[in-house]
């Protein structure tokens, strides 16, 4: 009698074990893998979305800078540095997604290197099966759009960086420190030497701009450079002729003229951001961020229903 009960209990345990194994391999394991991979995909998409948003914010912040701000140069270099960093990191993530170890398996059995779903088969049915095709293709398209936007944005950043380098001497030069700290009578020769050095520097900048700007119009900046060179030349002649009061008055005008030159130089940089190509880029970037929001919400909804 006891042996009969023991055998019955053993059969029940084995039967339940088989049922649990079938349940685990057919339902629980695929669901666990699906959720785990969706969480990983969600994390990657969130990083991409955050990088795009950060880029856009700092491009807008760059456009709002004021050359009269004492911290102008610091803020300008900080904004451009952040845009360069996030743009580079975004491209690296896209490249890694294409060459990584985590795969999507599509309808044809081909694989794309973006993390999402478990291998297709009898264990990948229902919600997971439908997502495997649709969402996989959508994510691939999303990464393609991201790469396109980041490459175009990289070109904008490269142009801004090149212009910034060409114009940096204008931004860094302070005529009040360089010229107004000296006495027009006792230090006349030093003032003449510094003014001549400033004219040479502006001439080099003027020549370099033609190579850096491409299709951008530099007429306004060139005009302000000419006015600044003219003001410095007048200052030198006044010093040489001994008109020290006139030299003092002209020195004040040089400071004002350099400020106008700095403002016009930054307007030239802003013309890169205001160009039709960059405006179209920012529009595409905004739409892409909205696409990321859509898919992140969709993935979040799937995760919540599968847990």
Q: Which residue has the higher pLDDT, 221 or 99?
A: 221
- Cα–Cα distance for residue pair 115/112, rounded to 1 Å: 9
Average pLDDT, the chain: 81
Q: Which residue has the tokens 């960059």?
A: 278
Is residue 251 domain-shared with residue 178, that is, in the same domain? yes
Question: Does the pLDDT value for residue 114 go beyond 50?
Answer: no
Is residue 37 domain-shared with residue 158, that is, in the same domain? yes
Q: What percent of the chain has pLDDT over 70?
A: 76
Question: Does the pLDDT value for residue 68 go beyond 50?
Answer: yes
- Res. 37 pLDDT band, cuts 50 70 90: confident
Is residue 139 domain-shared with residue 221, that is, in the same domain? no
Is residue 12 domain-shared with residue 97, that is, in the same domain? yes
Please name the helix (run of DSSP H) or strand (run of DSSP E) that holds residue 111, with its range, or none.
strand 111-112
- Res. 119 pLDDT band, cuts 50 70 90: very low
Is residue 48 domain-shared with residue 148, that is, in the same domain? yes
Question: Does the pLDDT value for residue 120 go beyond 90?
Answer: no
Residue 123 placed within a domain: no
- Cα–Cα distance for residue pair 54/59, rounded to 1 Å: 9
Reduced to 3 states (helix: H, G, I; strand: E, B; else coil), residue 105 is strand
Please name the helix (run of DSSP H) or strand (run of DSSP E) that holds residue 112, with its range, or none.
strand 111-112
Residue 129 placed within a domain: no
Is 37:115 a contact under the CB 8 Å cutoff? yes
Q: Please state the φ and ψ torsions of residue 14, each to the nearest 5 degrees.
A: -65, -40
Is residue 260 domain-shared with residue 285, that is, in the same domain? no
Averaging pLDDT over each range in 13-22, 37-46, 239-248, which range is the top one?
A: 239-248
Averaging pLDDT over each range in 11-15, 141-145, 254-258, which range is the top one?
A: 254-258
Is residue 284 domain-shared with residue 145, that is, in the same domain? yes
Residue 125 placed within a domain: no
The number of folded domains in the chain is 2
CATH number at residue 61: 1.20.120.30
Averaging pLDDT over each range in 2-11, 155-164, 276-285, which range is the top one?
A: 276-285
Residue 122 placed within a domain: no
Question: Does the pLDDT value for residue 8 go beyond 50?
Answer: yes
Q: What percent of the chain has pLDDT over 90?
A: 48
Question: Does the pLDDT value for residue 116 go beyond 50?
Answer: no
Domain extent, residue 209, equals 173-274
Residue 201 placed within a domain: yes
Whole-model pTM: value is: 0.75
Average pLDDT in the 259-268 region?
Answer: 94
Note the helical H segments in the chain. 2-23, 29-63, 72-99, 127-172, 175-178, 188-212, 219-240, 244-274, 276-306
Burial (CB count <10 Å: 0-12, 13-18, 19+), residue 123: middle
Residue 115 placed within a domain: no
By mean pLDDT, which of 59-63, 109-113, 133-137, 151-155 is the weakest?
109-113
Question: Does the pLDDT value for residue 10 go beyond 60?
Answer: yes
- For residue 269, what are its two tokens? 């940089």
Burial (CB count <10 Å: 0-12, 13-18, 19+), residue 122: exposed
Please name the helix (run of DSSP H) or strand (run of DSSP E) that holds residue 104, with its range, or none.
strand 104-105
Residue 112 placed within a domain: no
Is residue 154 domain-shared with residue 202, that is, in the same domain? no
- Cα–Cα distance for residue pair 194/240, rounded to 1 Å: 14
Is residue 253 domain-shared with residue 265, that is, in the same domain? yes
Question: Which tens digits make up the pLDDT trace of 168-194?
Answer: 899 999 998 999 989 999 999 999 999
Residue 284 placed within a domain: yes
Is residue 268 domain-shared with residue 281, that is, in the same domain? no
Is residue 228 domain-shared with residue 300, that is, in the same domain? no
Question: Does the pLDDT value for residue 141 go beyond 70?
Answer: yes
Is residue 24 domain-shared with residue 150, that is, in the same domain? yes
- Cα–Cα distance for residue pair 113/157, rounded to 1 Å: 28
Is 142:295 a contact under the CB 8 Å cutoff? yes
User: Which residues partner with 104 through β-bridges?
Assistant: 112
Q: What is the pLDDT of residue 118?
A: 40
């Amino acid at each position: 009698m006891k042996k009969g009960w023991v055998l019955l209990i053993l059969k029940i345990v084995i039967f339940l074990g088989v049922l649990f194994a079938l349940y685990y391999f057919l339902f629980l394991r695929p669901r666990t893998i699906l959720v785990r991979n969706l969480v990983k995909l969600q994390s990657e998409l969130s990083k991409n979305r955050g990088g795009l948003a950060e880029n856009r914010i700092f491009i807008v912040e760059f456009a709002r800078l004021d050359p009269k701000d004492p911290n102008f140069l610091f803020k300008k270099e900080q904004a451009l540095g952040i845009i360069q960093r996030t743009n580079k990191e975004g491209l690296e993530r896209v490249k890694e997604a294409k060459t990584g170890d985590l795969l999507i398996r599509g309808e044809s059995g081909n694989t794309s290197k973006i993390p999402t779903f478990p291998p297709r088969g009898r264990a990948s049915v229902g919600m997971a099966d439908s997502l495997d095709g649709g969402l996989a293709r959508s994510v691939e398209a999303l990464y393609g759009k991201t790469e396109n936007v980041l490459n175009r944005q990289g070109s904008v950043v490269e142009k801004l960086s090149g212009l910034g380098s060409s114009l940096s001497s204008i931004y860094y030069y302070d005529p009040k420190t360089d010229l107004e700290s000296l006495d027009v009578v006792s230090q006349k020769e030093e003032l003449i030497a510094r003014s001549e050095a400033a004219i040479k520097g502006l001439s080099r900048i003027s020549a370099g701009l033609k190579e850096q700007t491409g299709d951008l119009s530099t007429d306004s900046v060139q005009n302000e450079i000419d006015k600044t060179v003219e003001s410095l030349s007048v200052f030198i002649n006044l010093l040489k002729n001994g008109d020290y009061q006139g030299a003092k008055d002209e020195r004040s005008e040089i400071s004002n003229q350099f400020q106008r030159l700095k403002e016009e130089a930054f307007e030239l940089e802003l013309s890169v951001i205001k160009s039709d190509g960059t405006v179209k880029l920012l529009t595409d970037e905004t739409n892409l961020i909205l696409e990321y929001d859509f898919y992140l919400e969709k993935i979040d909804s799937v995760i919540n229903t599968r847990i």
